[in-house]
Amino acid sequence: MAPLATLLATCSIAAVVHMKSNNATTQDATENVIVLEEETNKPPPHLVMMVIDDLGWSDVGYHGSNFPTPNIDQLASEGVKLEKYYVQQVCSPTRSALVTARYPFRTGLQHTTTLTPGSHSKIPSDTATIAEVLKTAGYSTHAIGKWHVGYSSWADTPIGRGFDSYTGYLQGGEDYYSHSISPTQLIPVGNLSIAGFDMWHNRTAAWETSGKYSTDVFMDEAQRVLDTRNPEQPMFMYFAHQEIHAPDLKPPDSASIAACAGRNWTSPIGPEVTKLRGTLCSMASNLDASIGRFVDMLKAKNMWENTVLWLTTDNGGMTYGVAEDGVGSLGVSVSSNWPLRGGKATLFEGGVRGVSFVAGGFLPAAARGKTRTELMQHVDIPATMAKLAGAEWTKAPTDGLDVWDAVVHGAPSNRVEVPINVDTCVGVTGGPPCSLRESKYNALISSKWKLIEANWNFINCPNSTWCTGAGFYDGWWTNEPMVHVPYNASQAAMPVRGLKNGGLWLFDLSVDPHEERNVAAENPAVVKTMRDRLATLAEPANGYKDPQRNIPDPRSLPGLHNKMWAPFRRFGEEDPPMPAEYVDAVVAAAATAYWD
């Protein structure tokens, strides 16, 4: 396998117009030149990166969902669907990649779960964000919604990382109406309040939004940005929705509730799943309606015809499988990734193969309505957007590829591998010191092959049949009726020395996209090559960094900040050592807690 640097160098000298093969016809060449001229004659596009939280593969209509998503379906059908696109298994790692174009294992943000409230973990200061890069090309930059990639100081928040404005929340999940979070499982601090408010306008707590559904807060902010922006300046918007992340709470939009009424959500798993499927449907419908309204806003401002809207999920949908681990309502949901295996918090396809498409008037007419199956990954989105803007990345180099030709022309993406995750310092509290140094949580796609090399299990997992080393649960969850299909012996991990309570999975995705047959034992040479490649990627000399330490600082607790989860460090200040008894208590609690 060629090293990534070689792949990037190869990509950088690629021809401006790619042909589908060396035998491309004159007509093909003419069409590509026409498309290229169409793009060249346009001013720099407005760029919208829209991140949907926990959107499962089968939570959208065009993938067979029973949820009504007509706006999403129309945008996807009139745009370009990306059907071999990959993200991380959970939120913070993906979002760090989307913001920086760097693999999370290069920034220490590849945590098995996500950043806890009060964590010091953040995007490193020597790593540029897409907002900082686009500002060098004259863009206005705006962030709306979920951040969840560091906030211990204001310098780590969107306002400190290149965004001109920000309205949203800094943690991973919260109540949609009260905008508060109380991670009681995680922080054993006696009678000090840990329930905290988390909704901000720039550096000001947005208390006036209490009681207002998050999506409505974000849509108001989107309208404000469009109303007040300089029309002579290109715009970048990072729009990170809260929907459809748990807790599953019905929106106030009666039309969304009505759109899901009368459908049969009955599940043999039990009444809770039946109820939650109906609630999640109304949330998906509300999300879909808001996306339709946002497009209408852009059209009303005469911006749509010069906009690239790139929609992506942050990970696969959270299935009800996590409920078996004892996770509370903040984490439990009932998404479907059918027919993909697993879901959020697993390295299987249901956790990492993401819903994504590109839409907008800037997209050449000849590209619309197409489906692409070239390999792509989250880091490619910001890298491509920077190229479209005529901006160059500063500070550390990117891991992303400019895949615009693959999106528009169907050219090769030049991505021959997808490092889904590389983590040899596994544990919910990160490191160093590594909480589980003997564990691995790795996965790699190379051409048609996918290897999972993992033995990390949530400590509350009920048994080794449920958790197999590749994440929080295993198996498949169907659409209606929602049932769990367990894996069988031919689909289990291949045991191997050094991966106790886990093992190896090798899948030929060209014939087995649903990961129904583990062929590791039959292909030892492929397994060795891919394990060697993972070992190379995990070398510090090649840019690997262990996960940053990820436990709440006692200085962060809302009882010390007017009942808010707010930045608690001055930029550059030295962190005093945490009391040993506090660290021990939090580490012990973290082993059996889940936050998101």
Q: Which whole-number Å values give the CA distances from 513 to 60, 374, 393, 507, 518, in the listed order? A: 19, 14, 34, 8, 12
The answer to whether residue 527 is domain-embedded is: yes
The answer to whether residue 52 is domain-embedded is: no
Q: Which whole-number Å values give the CA distances from 552 to 418, 556, 573, 593, in the listed order? A: 32, 7, 17, 13
- The pLDDT of residue 475 is 93
The answer to whether residue 458 is domain-embedded is: yes
- One DSSP character per residue, 549-560 reads P----GGG-GGG
Residue 432: give the domain boundaries. Answer: 419-542
Could you list the pLDDT tens digit for every one of the 596 residues in the chain?
Answer: 333 333 323 333 232 233 233 333 333 444 455 455 455 567 899 999 999 999 999 999 999 999 999 999 999 999 999 999 999 999 999 999 999 999 999 999 998 888 989 999 999 999 999 999 999 999 999 999 999 999 999 999 999 999 999 999 999 999 999 999 987 655 655 556 678 999 999 999 999 999 999 999 999 999 999 999 999 999 999 999 999 999 999 999 899 999 999 899 999 999 999 999 999 999 999 999 999 999 999 999 999 999 999 999 999 999 998 887 766 656 789 999 999 999 999 999 999 999 999 999 999 999 999 999 999 999 999 999 999 999 999 887 899 999 999 999 999 999 999 999 999 988 767 776 676 667 899 999 999 999 999 998 877 676 667 788 999 899 999 999 999 999 998 899 999 998 988 999 999 999 999 999 999 999 999 999 999 999 999 999 999 999 998 888 888 989 899 999 999 998 777 778 888 887 777 777 766 666 67
Quick one: CA dihedral 141, 371, 348, 106, positive or negative? Answer: negative
Contacting residues for 374 by C-beta, under 8 A, at least 6 apart:
84, 403, 406, 410, 412, 413, 415
Tens-place pLDDT, residues 66-123 = 999 999 999 999 999 999 999 999 999 999 999 999 999 999 999 888 898 999 999 9
* Phi and psi, residue 280, nearest 5°: -65, -35
The answer to whether residue 586 is domain-embedded is: no
The answer to whether residue 55 is domain-embedded is: no
The answer to whether residue 76 is domain-embedded is: no
Tens-place pLDDT, residues 528-537 = 999 999 999 9
* Active site positions, annotated: 91, 148
- The pLDDT of residue 437 is 64
- The pLDDT of residue 192 is 60
The answer to whether residue 372 is domain-embedded is: no
Q: What is the CATH number of the domain that holds 423?
A: 3.30.1120.10
- The pLDDT of residue 508 is 98
| Contact (CB, 8 A) for 258 and 282 | no
> CA 475 from chain center: how many Å?
21
- The pLDDT of residue 101 is 98
- The pLDDT of residue 584 is 78
The answer to whether residue 568 is domain-embedded is: no
User: What are the strands of the beta sheet with 417-421, ordered from one edge?
Assistant: 417-421, 441-446, 449-454, 503-508
Q: Which whole-number Å values give the CA distances from 540 to 54, 181, 420, 536, in the listed order? A: 31, 36, 18, 9
Total domains, the chain: 1
Q: What is the CA radius of gyration of the chain?
A: 23
- The pLDDT of residue 466 is 77
Task: Name the β-bridge partners of 322.
Answer: none
- One DSSP character per residue, 466-519 reads T--SBBS--SEE-SSSP-EE---GGGSPBP-TT-TT-EEEEEETTT-TT-----
> What secondary structure letter does DSSP report for 444?
E
